[in-house]
Every structure is written in C-alpha cells, then in structure tokens.
Chains A and B, each alone.
Chain A
Amino acid sequence: MKSIMVVEDEELLSQIYEDALKGNYKVIVFKTGKTALQYLENNKPDLAILDVKLPDMSGLKLVTEIRRKYFILPIIMCTAYDTFRSDFDLWTAKISDYLVKPIVLDELKKKIKKILGE
C-alpha cells in the first residue's frame, strides 16, 4: 500500500483527509512542518499533501526544505487562495499539483491517482 503524508494543522480537516484516503493508502498526518521534516529523515512516503499555511512555517518553505533532501517526492499543495494559476507557478514552487479549499475529495482522489500513476 502506498503511503501519503498529510501536513495540515486543522485537526478536523486532517481527519477528513485520513478518513477519505485510508481505504486505499497508508495516511500519516502531521500538524507542523518540523514534524513532517523529521519524519522524512527516515521515511519515504509516495506523496505529500501540504497545507500552504502551517503554524511553524509556510507550505512553500516546507516544500523547499523537503526538496533539499527528497527531490522526487510528489507534492499536492492545498491552498485557501488562488496562489497557483499556471504550470509555471507549479514549476516555480516545485510541486506536482494544487487544490483550492474547500477541497472536493473526489478531485483530490483523482489527482492522487493521476500522480501515482494508478
């Protein structure tokens, strides 16, 4: 089973992610960027879902930190703003895809499947 790392500080929302995805994937949830980076020291999840705004750092900063160690990890960024509007924005941010909140779970699942090649 492929594993998905979710970094989301909203307790309820992270539960929603977990419940929506746990049937098909192993879901590991973190509330801060720091704990997520610590996890990545020894683990290699197949995909990461990051919130763009975290209590200890921004989602984009977290991406930069992740890319230092783990370049090929596919990342889906969840944002409350229209931060990303083009492929260029995604390339600049070094992420695979993005979703604008409120997240439509069907859409999230489709994107994950597409990225993981399922």
Chain B
Amino acid sequence: MNEQKYLIRLKWISILVFSFLMIGIVFFGKASLPYLLQTFTPKFLNVAYVVSSFIISALFISGLFSFINRLYLKMKHFEDELEETNILNRKMTEESEKKNLTLSQKNEELSNMHKIIREMTQTMDLDKILDVILESICKYLNYDRAIICLIEEEKRILKPFHNLGVENQELLNKTEISLSLKDNPIVQAVLEKKPKILKWKEDLNIPFSGNVAEIKNKPIVGVIPLEARGNIIGVLIVDNSKSKQLLEERNLRELLVFTNQAGLAIENARLYETEKLFKEQLQNQVNLAVQKLEQTQAQLIQSEKLSALGEMAAVVSHEVRNPLSTIRGSAELIDETIPADNPNKKYSNFILQEVDRLNRIVTDILSFSQIPRLILKKTNLNDIVDQLCSFLQASDFVKYDIKYFGLLDKNLPQVNIDVEQLKQVILNITQNACHFMVNRPLRQLEIKTYFDDKYIYLKISDTGAGIPPENVGKIFDPFFSTKTKGTGLGLAISRNIINAHKGKIIVESKLNSGSVFTISLPIEG
C-alpha cells in the first residue's frame, strides 16, 4: 500500500519537475533569444535548443530516477524488514498460543488432580475410595480400564482388589500374580518400585475379551506401583485396550503424581478400617464383658437369694422335719396298735400320708434352694429310663391308664450323670405328663433317646392337655403351678439339675394335643 503511494507521489513530483524545467527552458530561451540570435542562426538555435532541452531533461530525469531508485531501494529494505518483523510476530503469536494451550491443559490436569484428591480424601471407606480412584482415572485421565491389585503379604501375591471397565470379572477374580515370578513385568515394576509402560502380551495375566491381535505388542499398558509410607502396597494397572491409544512417559508422570496420593488414601482407609474393626471388636468385647458382668451379677443375686433361701430352708427343714418325725413315728406306733379292720385305721393312714406330703414340700424347697451337688457316674440313660418306667408301669401308668412307648437308642453312649438327680428329673416330667393326661381321650407317653456328636437327648412326649402359650415361658419358674396339689418347684428343680449337668431342658407344647420335653446332656461331661 505504502509502495503504491510512494510511486504515485514520485510520478507527480517528476511531472511537476519536468514541467518546471520545460517552463524554465522556454522562459530562459525566450529571454536569451535576442542575444543568441545575434551569434547563431535560428535553425541552429532550434536544433541546439531541442538538443540542450533533451540533454538537460535526460540529466534531470536520470538524476530523478536515481533518486527515486534510492528511495525505492530504501523502501524495499524497509518493506523486507517489515516482512521479517511480521513473520517473527506471527511466530511469536503461534508460540504464545501453543503455550496458552499447554497451560490450559496443565490447568485442566491440575484441576482433575485436585478433584480426584478431594474425592479421595472425602471418604474413609476403602471400597468407596477405590471406586473413586478408578472412576477418576478412567474419567479424567482417559483410560479404558483400570485395576488396582493389592499385595497379600501372607501369600506373597498380587490380587486384583478393585477394577473398572474389565468385562470378564470372573476371570479377573481368579487371577493372582505371585511375587516370586521375577520375569513378570508387573512384578518387576513392583519390586523395582518403578512405573512402567508395557507392551501388551498375553502372559501379563490381564483378562481381555477383544481381539488380542490388534493390541499385541503395543505399548498400551501402564503399571504404577502404589506406595504408602515407603512401602509398596500394590499396583495400579491401566490400559487402553479399547481405544488402542499408545501410552507415553507423560501419561506415567500424570499417574505417578496421583498414585502417590492413592497409595496414601488406601493406606489411610486400611488403617481406618483396622481401627474401626479394632474399635468394633473392642466394643463387642466391652459389650460381652458388660453382658457377662450383668449375668454374673444376676447369678450372684440369684445365688445370694438362693443362699439366703437355702439357709432358711435348712433351718426350716430341720425345725419342721423334727416334729414331722415325731408325728410320723407316733402315727406309725398308733397304726401298729389298730387292727386292720378298725375304721380308725384310715385316720392313722391320713396322718402318715399328710406327713409325707408335708415332707415332700420341705424336700422340694430344700432341693430348689440348694445348688445341686452332683455325684457323677458314667451311666447309660436308657437304664435309668428303663428302671423308672418299670416302676411307673406298676404304679402311675396303671393308675391313669396310660400307654407307654419306649424308643430307646441301643447305641446311646454313656454319660457322666448323677443317677438319683436324673431320676428325679425324669420322674417329675413323667408324673406331670401322667397328671395332665387324666380324662384325655388319648393317653400315650413316649420316651425317646437319641444322640449326636456332642449331646445325648431324652424326649418325653405326652398327649395331655398341653400348656397354654402364655404359660410356656413360666413353667420352669419356681412356685409356678397349675396343679391343685403342687409346690410349683418340680420343673424349677429339674432345670437346676439339668443346668448343673451343663445340659439343657426345653419344652414345646400345643394346647389340647400335648407337650414335648427335650433334655440334652453333653457327652463329654
């Protein structure tokens, strides 16, 4: 643009100068003509005039052109300089744009890092942290798949712990990489504590369900050891098996900054979990201890109560049994003197019966108030059942018209039991059963014995009236009785005896159809 302007200006200046020159020559010619006409002929003068005009014009024009040329060259030089400056300027602009782009990339990376780290540090749940880590890697750093393997110190293996994007989960779960495989590049990365870009190979042990040929030997796998407080705790494996985008050193650097944080986050979460577990265990132990303490306290209160009751019962029983002895003795002596056909005989018998009843009450209270003292003897429970049932066949079973079924396991192992006390328990339950089967259409009593690895079982089933559901929980309570003549201590004593044997007694009952008592006793008493 400037060039044209100069040229136009130059054109006008040269025309102007040429015009002035022409005017000057004409004016000078006209003024000096009279003098020249005196010396030269007009023809010569015309020729000289024309020639001199040409010469002068040529001189002027050449001078003018040289001036113009100089100006032009100068201009050209400026123009070149300008061009150079322009190119330089463009280059600088391009460079600055490039730098801006890199800066914005860096900025984005940093912001991603920041997001990842913030998300990582916001939770202490290990699973959630690993989720965040892997999601962030795939989302922000654009990897197709990411697997976190942690070191199992006991087995010295790397085991996939968490993953994202892996299709064949089943295969991955079965995968484990032994740390003794020194040739494995993943193990090498762990042992050398160095991140590595690996070419895809099948012996890397990373499951892949696509076309292996497409990715084989391509550097698309990144392995970055996870470090926490100077120790390698695992490894992060990332790959671009789908996009097939090759990995560069720059990618590793990105990951490295991030895996340092990830390692710490995992370690922290693990510590937190350990602490949480420890806290839970401690809490459980405290709860257990409190529970035990409460139990012990309850037992203590119970045993104190029992002890007080025992002392009282002992005193009472002594004080009651002495006069009972006198009454019974006297009644016996009177009874001896009364002939069998005398109507008064029944009254002496009444006295004897009632003394025995009173004595049973005292015995029950005394038994209940004392912790059973066991005299253990290796015995077959079947023998006790047989013995008792022979006695009951001749007494209660006949009296109440009860059909008895004994299903005793012949292979029942012997157990350490107090024969007399067990007899008392079985007698209590069977006599109760007989009592509650009175006036029932079906009167059947079944006693079954069986065993497993740890216990022998005695099951006494009747077809009696059954226990109302509201009473099932109370029948082992002391002084609970629905019988008109009962202390309500029989089952409470039975339970005490079974508990003293480290066994259990349970009841199942259906109203109007019968009850089942099951006693279990440990074989290793």
Contacts and interface: CB of A to CB of B under 8 A. Distances in A.
Query: A and B from one assembly?
Result: yes
A10 B321 CA distance: 11
A72 interface: no
Interface string A21-62: 000000000000000000000000000000001000000000
Interface residues of B, number: 22
Given A13-B325, A16-B325, A106 B318 contact: no
A12 to B, nearest CB: 4
Nearest to A106: B332
B373 to A, nearest CB: 7
Interface stretch (A63-71, A78-86, A110-118): A78-86
A101 B375 contact: no
Given A13-B329, A102-B324, A106-B332, A82 B366 contact: yes
The secondary structure that dominates the A interface is mixed
Interface string B307-338: 00000001001100111111111101100000
A81 B318 CA distance: 7
A19 B333 contact: yes
A93 interface: no
Interface string B291-321: 0000000000000000000000010011001
Contact of A81 (B314, B332, B333, B420): B314
A80 B317 contact: yes
B326 A10 contact: yes
A113 to B, nearest CB: 16
Interface of A: 10, 12-13, 16-17, 19-20, 53, 78, 80-82, 85-86, 88, 100-106
20 contacts: A10-B322, A13-B322, A13-B326, A13-B329, A16-B333, A20-B333, A53-B318, A78-B325, A80-B321, A80-B322, A86-B375, A88-B375, A100-B321, A101-B325, A102-B328, A102-B329, A104-B332, A105-B328, A105-B332, A106-B332
Given A12-B323, A81-B317, A106-B332, 13 more contacts: A10-B322, A10-B326, A12-B326, A13-B322, A16-B330, A17-B329, A20-B329, A85-B373, A86-B375, A101-B322, A102-B328, A103-B329, A105-B329
